[in-house]
Chains A and B, each alone.
Chain A
Amino acid sequence: GDSVTQTEGLVTVTEGLPVKLNCTYQTTYLTIAFFWYVQYLNEAPQVLLKSSTDNKRTEHQGFHATLHKSSSSFHLQKSSAQLSDSALYYCALWGAKLTFGGGTRLTVRP
């Protein structure tokens, strides 16, 4: 089956500095789509980014990610972290169903 790996469970970064959240995957499906979901405290997960095109950069709310099928990765990045970015981030792969990674909790400190 599909699997998604987020290597960091916790990431802490200082406001204004860049942040990168890692996501790698394994799948046997040819037609796949990828999502980054963000979940703020006591709220439901919501889509932050989505992509299905290899080597194309996708951007939203200052975050960006590029799907690299050659390395099976879809890392999330932001050049300047904000306090309001503190949340739980999930990478997800759609193959036969939506498979989530374990999540990365991002804390942005002043």
Chain B
Amino acid sequence: DPKIIQKPKYLVAVTGSEKILICEQYLGHNAMYWYRQSAKKPLEFMFSYSYQKLMDNQTASSRFQPQSSKKNHLDLQITALKPDDSATYFCASSQDRGQGYAEQFFGPGTRLTVL
């Protein structure tokens, strides 16, 4: 059974629309993250959450909003979509964000295409 679920696997959206990317982890981890991967920037950190609290935000745009309704959920809402937002978005989790050795496990990703 998959330990980190991301839905949908593929997503096509029109410019200006809003989408929500879903992430659920069943590893019992306390920290969750979002990353973005595109041709321009191979793997880019976006957000980190620990115990459902935002710990770090490296995304300049407020169009990207993480949402944590449960400890093992971290969704990503993207508003006013632009073609430059086209990328694969990975969710990841780790046992504890504070530990220097906290290995992060990645979900399968959601490939977003904005037309």
Contact = CB atoms under 8 A, between A and B. Distances in A.
Contacts, number: 46
B48 A45 contact: no
User: Which of under 10, 10 to 19, 20 to 34, or 35 or more describes the interface residues of B?
Assistant: 10 to 19
A33 B101 contact: yes
Interface of B: 33, 42-45, 48, 56, 58, 90, 100-109
State the 4 A-B residue pairs at the shortest beta-carbon distance, nearest first.
Answer: A44-B106, A103-B42, A100-B43, A31-B100
B100 A33 contact: yes
B64 to A, nearest CB: 16
A50 interface: yes
A85 B93 CA distance: 25
A103 B103 CA distance: 18
A9 B42 CA distance: 11
B103 A96 contact: no
Contact of A46 (B42, B56, B102, B106): B106
Contacts of B44: 100
A88 B104 CA distance: 17
Contacts of A60: none
B43 A103 contact: yes
Contacts of A102: 42
